[in-house]
Amino acid sequence: MTKEEFNKKVMEITPEGRKYPCVTDREYAIIEKVYTFHPSISETDGKRQMAELYVEYGMALIMDMVLRAETMEKKEKELREAQEIVKEMQAQIDWIKRGKDLMP
């Protein structure tokens, strides 16, 4: 999601007659992290969810979501690294099963 997409969503869901809040670059960087990594944000409807949170509750709620998003970001990285280790180990097992030298 880009900052422009986010602002457009915010405009769409802001109630008529209410001035929609314009997001700053700093705020958007935080919104993007929460949008990308928070486990409660939908992969299919996350743009709308984030805009609703921003319009209804502001940055205070989104800031409260940052720690969980950062924790998920870290765990996803750790999982990718562990999957790479398993993939390499499986390749070594396959190498040995094919009767190749013990050190690929």
The residue assigned the tokens 């809040």 is 21
For the whole model, what pTM was predicted? Answer: 0.78
Q: How far apart are CA 14 and CA 51, in angstroms?
A: 9
**How many Cα atoms occupy the beta-carbon half-sphere of 37 within 13 Å?**
20
Task: State the Cα–Cα distance between residues 66 and 53, nearest whole angstrom.
Answer: 13
List, for residues 53-103, the tens digit of each pLDDT value.
999 999 999 999 999 999 999 999 999 999 999 999 999 899 888 887 766
